[in-house]
Amino acid sequence: MVEGPGCTLNGEKIRSRIQKGQKLKEIRGSLTKSTVRHVFSCLCGCLYTGVDTLGKELFMYFGVRALRVHFGMNGSMRINPAERKDRAASIPVLEIHLTNDIVCFFDSTVEMRLTEDCEQRVQAMVSLDMCSPKFSISQSEEAVKRQCSRMLCDVLLDQAIMPGVGNIIKNEALFDSGFHPAVKVQQLTDEQIHHLVKMTRDFTLLFYKCRKSASPLYKHYKVYKRSQCGQCFHVITVCRLGDNGRMTYFCERCQKGDPSKVDISKLPVRNSLTNWANNERTNDNVAKKEEEDWACQLCTLINQPTAKNCDACLTPRPEGDTEASPFTTDLIKYPCTAFKKPQEELKVNWRSAFGTSTLVFSDLSKKPKPVNSPLSPASSHLNSLAAERGLYKYSVCQGTTSPNYASGGWQKQNCFFTSVSTSRIGATSHSSSISSSPSAPCCESHRRPAVLRVVHKEGENKGRQFYACSLPRETKCNFFEWADLHFPFCHHSKRCVMRTVLKLGPNNGRNFYTCSHQRGKQCDFFQWAENGPGVSILPGC
């Protein structure tokens, strides 16, 4: 699901890259081939006047008319896609040709609206939008209190109350709040409602920051799609709960069904991202801008945080915040210390008695040797495992090293590169199977335990489990084996599928065999499946 932060980022991309005043020359896409083609053709010749986002909705304005876009589960947007040849085969739902730019929407729902109605809707609800800088926590609290008889899992997903909240934010916010998803609003005190709204806003901003900087969000999950609680390591309960039966993940040990037993002051917290966004520096876990290393604008030397002038050229430290995001003015120390991908090449300045030099850390590693290499099976297995876990990443340093490095920034980066090449070697010595069960078959080429995957492609095999090589895509072999060969046959003489009980009760989490046909065409075959080694529980399959 493309939740509020993803939609907000799409709006920012359009706002920054598409200039206003361009004329809409042509509209293409799969929607124009249907009976509603005349609805979109009336936009031809109109001028693009702006874009707004509200929760999971995006509005593009063309004079008196507007396009309302909802990205659904897997929707996406691309600007000038001709620059990306790998996407040439994708068919957009709507392709908007402007004077100088092209905007394409994929796997999305697009509707025609009046600009005036869209602007009034955005203006009326912007204070409730979890992703908006104009978000008002007091108005959000009042909106939640009016839903006194509804469960929290339904209130958080109601886009009329909390625009932008999706299933990921819902599950993680309820965990941070310490409440069971089935708790009703009327059971909460005013202080607990304030805490719930605050935790929802906090995780939404964390979601936004990770998506904007391409940092992995899953590392911050405590319950969502996890088998164990990220706090107490208790087994996660998976069920369908609420009016719409949405997938819900929660920890029965950390999340209480009785709100009176929840002490907000003793709950484990992440960072106070609400204060972080509002420039309130009251949390010790938030690092101020002056507490990080800074680079001289003249000679590019990296200086220590306490230095007021450059150590090399004595240039004063620049003043002001260069962060472009409207949400961020500080840096988070925990749980994210760097919201960015590892660089393939890292340059660090180094100061010595003869002047300033630059250390260049480059990725000059080669891919693992092929299977037919003369190495022994044990060594080839270790190399392939090390390649999978990133052992060969950042292993070469070009330049001259000396203890007279310029600042602490060099020390931190040097420690990072060292840890990559030392700690992970120790990990490979006692972990021979990664994301694979002990009884999983081994691939024929590498003799390594295979991983269990699921068929997502539409067809008669959708939902079936199979084993494949566990190495990365560029090095894996063509090993393939169905994982359901031991499954029984249903009354249609077809192989059964294994599903999981998602209803709350004594059988929650148990696996069972059932007919593989679609609902309405299934036979009455049913058999419990014991979860032995090698059988994984796939909620929602």
Amino acid identity, position 365:
S
Helices (H), 95-151: 115-125, 137-145
Q: Name which of 282, 227, 278, 233 is nearest 254 in CA terms.
A: 233
**DSSP letter string over 302-339?**
EE-TT-SB-TTT-PBPPPS-----SS-SSEE-SS-S--
| CA atoms of 6 and 76, how far apart (whole Å) | 9
| CA atoms of 475 and 371, how far apart (whole Å) | 9
| CA atoms of 408 and 399, how far apart (whole Å) | 18
Q: Name which of 188, 180, 175, 257 is nearest 222 in CA terms.
A: 175
Angle in degrees, 0-180, between the axes of helices 190-212 and 4-17, rounded to the nearest 10? 50
> Is the pTM higher than 0.85?
no
232: left (phi over 0), alpha (psi -120 to 50) or beta: alpha
| CA atoms of 184 and 149, how far apart (whole Å) | 6
- State whether residue 216 is helix, strand or coil: coil
Q: Name which of 117, 98, 120 is nearest 17 in CA terms.
A: 98
Beta-carbon neighbour count of residue 221 at 10 Å? Answer: 16
Q: Is the dihedral of CA 514, 526, 241, 181 positive or negative?
A: negative
Q: 69 forms bridges with which residues in the sheet? A: 58, 110
Which token pair is 539?
A: 């909620």
- Those residues whose C-beta lies under 8 Å from the C-beta of residue 519, and which sit 6 or more positions away, are none
- Those residues whose C-beta lies under 8 Å from the C-beta of residue 189, and which sit 6 or more positions away, are 259
Residues 229, 251 contacting (CB under 8 angstroms): yes
Indicate which residue of 2, 144, 155, 348 is catalytic: 2
Q: Where in the chain is the domain with CATH 3.20.190.10?
A: 4-82+89-125
Longest distance between any two alpha carbons in the chain, whole Å: 83
Q: Name which of 77, 69, 74 is nearest 105 in CA terms.
A: 77
Which CATH number fits the domain 4-82+89-125, given the four candidates 3.30.1180.10, 3.10.20.70, 3.30.1490.20, 3.20.190.10? 3.20.190.10
11-61 pLDDT, tens digit each: 999 999 999 999 999 888 888 776 555 688 888 899 999 999 999 999 999
- Concerning whether 2 is annotated as a catalytic residue, the answer is yes
What's the CATH code, domain 127-271?
A: 1.10.8.50
Taking CA atoms, 140 is separated from 185, 198, 502, in Å, by 13, 10, 31
Q: What is the pLDDT along the chain (541 residues), one digit of tens a residue?
A: 689 999 999 999 999 999 999 999 988 888 877 655 568 888 889 999 999 999 999 999 999 999 999 998 889 999 988 654 444 457 888 999 999 999 999 999 999 999 999 999 999 999 999 999 999 999 999 999 999 999 999 999 999 999 999 999 999 999 999 999 999 999 999 999 999 999 999 999 999 999 988 888 988 999 999 989 988 999 999 999 988 888 999 999 999 999 999 988 888 776 544 444 444 434 444 445 555 667 777 777 777 777 888 877 788 887 754 444 444 444 443 344 444 555 556 666 666 555 666 666 666 554 444 444 343 444 444 444 444 444 333 333 333 333 333 333 333 333 333 333 333 323 333 333 333 444 678 888 888 888 888 887 877 777 778 889 888 777 888 888 888 888 888 888 888 888 888 888 888 888 888 888 877 888 988 888 874 333 333 444 4
Q: Name which of 179, 203, 205, 182 is nearest 192 in CA terms.
A: 179
499-538 pLDDT, tens digit each: 888 888 888 888 888 888 877 888 988 888 874 333 333 4
